[in-house]
């Protein structure tokens, strides 16, 4: 599954660390920026990533990072086929995939360590949606959009 990653200026260092981790594991990804820690507006990076996931929600996943994780998560969830989850532990990342079929992982760079971020990414990438009783609930998320 193609993986996209983006951040704002507050998340650049954590994004770099995660890209190094992904490189080391041989996991292909596309870095949508930014390349520096110069101040940027998080929607300018969250919208392109979320738009691409929205177009192919079962084929593309993403990782978004900002200072609190809230801004990128709110922006991404404006798209009907996106299920972005703000997580700060590996357990929450796994549950977001298992129960909510999350297709974008949002991380709060200012509030978690690099180790916790890596563990959350591992859980997100290695956990499948359980379906079953959760499928009906997930189907109701985009209702009315």
Q: What pLDDT, in 10s, does the model give residues 81-123?
A: 999 999 999 999 999 999 999 999 999 999 999 999 999 999 9
Q: Three-state SS for 1?
A: coil
Q: What topology is assigned to 3-141 in CATH? A: Ribose 5-phosphate Isomerase B; Chain: A, (3.40.1400)
Bridge partners for 104 per DSSP: 62, 84
Distance CA 71, CA 74 (A): 5
Distance CA 94, CA 122 (A): 9
Within 10 Å of residue 64's Cβ, how many Cβ atoms?
30
DSSP 19-78: HHHHHHHT---EE---SS-S---THHHHHHHHHHHHHSTTT-EEEEEESSSHHHHHHHTT
Please identify every residue annotated as catalytic. Answer: 66, 99
Residue 144 — pLDDT band, cuts 50, 70, 90? low
pLDDT at 131 over 90: no
Tallying the residues shown for the chain, one arrives at 145
In this prediction, residue 142 carries a pLDDT of: 77
């Amino acid at each position: 599954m193609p993986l996209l990653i983006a951040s704002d200026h507050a998340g650049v260092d954590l994004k770099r660390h995660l890209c190094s981790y992904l490189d080391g594991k041989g996991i292909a990804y596309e870095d949508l920026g930014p390349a520096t820690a110069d101040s940027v507006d998080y929607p300018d990076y969250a919208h392109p990533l979320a738009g691409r996931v929205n177009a192919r929600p079962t084929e593309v996943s993403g990782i978004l990072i900002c200072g609190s994780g809230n801004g990128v998560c709110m922006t991404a969830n404006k798209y009907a086929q996106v299920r972005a989850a703000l997580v700060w532990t590996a357990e929450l990342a796994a549950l977001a995939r298992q129960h909510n079929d999350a297709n974008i992982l949002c991380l709060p760079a200012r509030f978690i360590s690099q180790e916790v971020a890596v563990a959350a990414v591992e859980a997100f990438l290695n956990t499948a949606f359980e379906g079953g009783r959760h499928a009906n609930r997930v189907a109701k998320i985009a209702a009315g959009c």
